[in-house]
A = this chain, B = another copy of it.
Amino acid sequence: MTLNRQPIPVFDAVTKVVENVTHIDTETVKLEDSYNRYLSEDLTATHDVPLFTRSAMDGFAIRSADSGKGAAFTVVDEVLAGSTSDYELKENEAFRIMTGAELPKSADTVVMFEQANIDGDTFTIRKTFDAFDNVAMQGEECKKGDIIVHKGSQINPGTVATLATFGYAEVNVYRVPVVGVLSTGSELLEVSDELERGKIRNSNTPMIMAQLERIGVHAKRYDLEEDNLDTLLEKIEKMFNEVDAVITTGGVSVGDYDLLPKVYEKLGAEVLFNKVAMRPGSVTTVARAKGKFLFGLSGNPSACYSGFELFARPAILLMQGSARAFAPFVNATLGEDFKKPNPFTRFVRAEIDFVDGKVISKPSGFNKSNAVTSIARSNGVIVLPGGTRGFEAGDEVQVMLTDVTSGVSHFSIRQ
């Protein structure tokens, strides 16, 4: 039993995780199944956008040379969106044209309905129009061959629209990792079990499954029949055969009955770290075995929650090539005193609000590592740097936005 593990700073721990990520394989999915996946190749324009020079307004297409104060026009043809006209305009003739319709070659500008005095099939205008007023030019947004978004981008609704525009009925993406979740601890009951003296219900497995779902990853749930080394080792070896990454909760402390350190040893796993200078969750351990991550999160719900967000979430997104794998850290005003200093970085579950454009954060309730209810009220985590001083309400602190689907490109914690 080694009591004296050497704690490493949170930033260093995250860095060790990042350095050990390997990309998962790729696959082809249908456009309609592509939302929230990560592109495994650059998305390239298959044609100019706009595809053809078109009217940006409902109005009359004319030759700009014919325009001027009081100029009168006769409407000779009509071009609806989706239709075209090859009619050659003569002097002071006009097309009636709708937004999105191809601008006929013989016209070069569009007079909006609101800019015309209309009288049956004729109209007059009050000013000169320049060529290409109220017109969207072919290729003004992008050219065929342009890279629109890069490999590693999350496919958001705008990406879906872009893929559709360019005729990509299918798209190449990284596969979504299968992540196995297993909670250890002989005190654990299942959700539908009656309470027993000395025991509590397992909340970590369903919580982590929801944290995975939040990033679009479906978890595979495992349960432990008996809480002993042989059973646990066998179960984790089975998980390694079935999943791309393993998350366990509990059993990572230094107590005699904390089995994970022994499992890591038996597996021949490389332990990246087993002590992080943070509260809660200092015993959080990340290891690698058989080319896969093994996240050993604390059994305390709050520690488990932030351990997942700090280490497992970015790793799982980076496995999918994500270019924005980290939760944003944003400055916020602290809503409550934390007078007692702590040498370790503290993570406090917080309710974040946006008031007058400013980010306000207040602790979301009871704040101990074993707290569970405060997580339910939180949409972020206040970060209190470790050191010799406490913090007061009104201090500017950092907040990690956990309830954000999009992230940022760098882990930017101040500690």
Contacts and interface: CB of A to CB of B under 8 A. Distances in A.
Interface of A: 1, 3, 31-32, 35-36, 43, 45, 47, 49-52, 56, 58, 80-84, 98-102, 113-114, 136, 140-142, 148-149, 153, 155-169, 185-188, 191-193, 195, 197-211, 213-214, 253-255, 257, 299-301, 305, 328-331, 349, 353-359, 365-366, 368, 370-379, 396, 398, 401, 403-406, 408-409, 412, 414
A375 B158 contact: yes
Contacts of A204: 161
A157 B51 contact: no
A397 B208 CA distance: 37
Given A32-B209, A35-B210, A160-B209, 16 more contacts: A31-B206, A52-B198, A80-B186, A83-B198, A84-B198, A102-B198, A149-B376, A156-B403, A158-B372, A160-B203, A161-B203, A161-B375, A164-B202, A166-B201, A329-B357, A330-B330
A156 B401 CA distance: 13
A330 B354 contact: yes
Contact of A357 (B160, B376, B398): B398
A197 B142 contact: no
Nearest to A332: B357
Identify whether the interface residues of A are mostly helix, strand, loop, or mixed: loop
Contact of A207 (B43, B58, B158, B205): B158
A198 B82 CA distance: 5
B403 A36 contact: no
Contacts of A80: 186-187, 257
Given A201-B164, A372-B165, A356 B412 contact: yes
A186 B81 contact: yes
Given A43-B376, A153-B376, A161 B301 contact: yes
A356 B56 CA distance: 41
A192 B318 CA distance: 31
Question: Which residue of A50, A186, A354, A359 has the most chain B CB atoms within 10 A of its CB atom?
Answer: A354
Contacts of A379: 156, 406
Contacts of A195: 47, 51, 167
B82 A372 contact: no
A82 B186 CA distance: 5
The 9 A-B pairs of least Cβ separation, nearest first, read A158-B375, A82-B187, A331-B357, A161-B207, A403-B406, A157-B210, A158-B376, A161-B203, A328-B354
A365 to B, nearest CB: 8
Given A403-B405, A406-B379, A409-B353, A206 B372 contact: no
A148 B43 CA distance: 45
Question: Which residue of A3, A253, A372 has the most chain B CB atoms within 10 A of its CB atom?
Answer: A372
Given A372-B158, A376-B153, A214 B83 contact: no
A373 B162 contact: yes
23 contacts: A1-B113, A43-B376, A45-B373, A51-B200, A81-B257, A82-B188, A83-B198, A84-B197, A99-B255, A113-B254, A136-B368, A140-B366, A141-B373, A148-B377, A156-B403, A157-B211, A158-B305, A158-B377, A164-B191, A329-B354, A330-B330, A379-B406, A405-B405
Nearest to A79: B198
Nearest to A202: B164
A299 B376 contact: no
B99 A253 contact: yes
Contacts of A158: 207, 305, 349, 372-378
Contact of A330 (B99, B357, B366): B357
